[in-house]
Amino acid sequence: MFGDFFSRALIAGIGLALVTGPLGCFVVWRRMAYFGDTMAHSALLGVALSIILSMNMTLGVFAVAALVAGALIVLQKQATLSTDALLGILSHSTLAVGLVLVGFLTTVRIDLMGFLFGDILAVSVDDIVIIYGGGLAILAILIFAWRPLLASTVSPELAEAEGLRPEASRLVLMILMASVIAIAMKLVGVLLITSLLIIPAATARRLSATPEQMAVVAAVLGAVAVVGGLFGSRTWDTASGPSIVVMALIVFLVSLTVPVTRLYGRKAPDGARS
């Protein structure tokens, strides 16, 4: 009924959504949307360096995103600039340096629009293996580190008092985000990755009673956005990546008509409170 390329896109997109949903909850709770943009913008620099150094592109993007996360932590300890100012510097600088390096690669043909906005319809079987293999690893780490991550999100001071090392939890979260950006870049592009992280999680926040429920709902809503966006793209011949994000936005707008679900029985992360 559907072409192989469309079926592969559905499988890959759903696999990605199942990872970005739960991870996006922490992005929303910790108010890290701008950090997500910074990591996504650094992906283009990772692409350029991967080509220059003849290395695997996914690994190159991950390495650069992880280095940017580490640079942010080091610069924050200097306490000379606010976090949002540091993020602005890193975000626009990495994007600009990446674009400049791409401009120097005159002997290599680069689909810049594809990297910026993605092309999920061009996903291959190897890409699907990377998405599901990397996604399972990310989810396994997220589940294993769920308690310290959640505790340090609710109260870093209390988490530190309990010996849970909130700084280590924060570093783990940054590495997981770098990993997601590396495997998601080809699908939705560097400019749309943050949307897939934030919108389903923000929608799930209104519909969930516990942090765990929010993570599951966010994953489901992300999958709905992928399926709806791809079918919309197929029907109206629109760009697939932006169509997925538009579908996620539609789901969010619809959720605004639903009564807010209050979080009962336990303290939730500040960003998850209704």
pLDDT band at 25 (very low <50, low <70, confident <90, very high): very high
pLDDT band at 163 (very low <50, low <70, confident <90, very high): confident
Task: Tell me the C-alpha distance between 182 and 160, whole Å.
Answer: 30
pLDDT of residue 264: 42
pLDDT of residue 237: 92
Residue 209, exposed/middle/buried by CB under 10 A (0-12, 13-18, 19+)?
middle
Helices (H), the chain: 4-29, 33-53, 57-78, 83-104, 112-117, 125-144, 146-154, 156-161, 166-188, 193-207, 211-236, 240-255
Cα angle, residue 233 at apex, residues 230 and 237 outer, rounded to 5°: 155
Average pLDDT estimate for 31-40: 88
Average pLDDT estimate for 15-27: 95
Which helix (H) or strand (E) covers residue 163, if one does?
none
Tens-place pLDDT, residues 180-221: 999 888 788 877 888 999 999 999 998 999 999 999 999 999
What is the chain's mean pLDDT, rounded?
88
pLDDT of residue 29: 93
Overall size of the chain counted in residues: 274
**Residues contacting 149, CB < 8 A, separation 6+:** 26, 142, 169, 172, 173
Tens-place pLDDT, residues 82-93: 888 999 999 999
What percentage of the chain exceeds 70 in pLDDT?
94
CA 130 to chain centre: 16
| Residue 100 CA: distances (Å) to CA of 47, 164, 178, 184, 188 | 12, 42, 22, 23, 22
Q: Residue 149 corresponds to which amino acid? A: L
Half-sphere exposure of 186 (CA within 13 A, CB side): 19
In the CATH scheme, what is the code of domain 4-272?
A: 1.10.3470.10
The CA-based dihedral angle spanning residues 182, 135, 68, 268, taken in that order and rounded to the nearest 10 degrees: 140
pTM of the model: 0.90
* 101 pLDDT above the threshold of 60: yes
Domain ranges for the chain, please list them.
4-272
Q: 240-255 vs 166-188: helix axis angle to the nearest 10? A: 120
**Residues contacting 239, CB < 8 A, separation 6+:** 117, 233
Task: Tell me the C-alpha distance between 168 and 268, whole Å.
Answer: 20
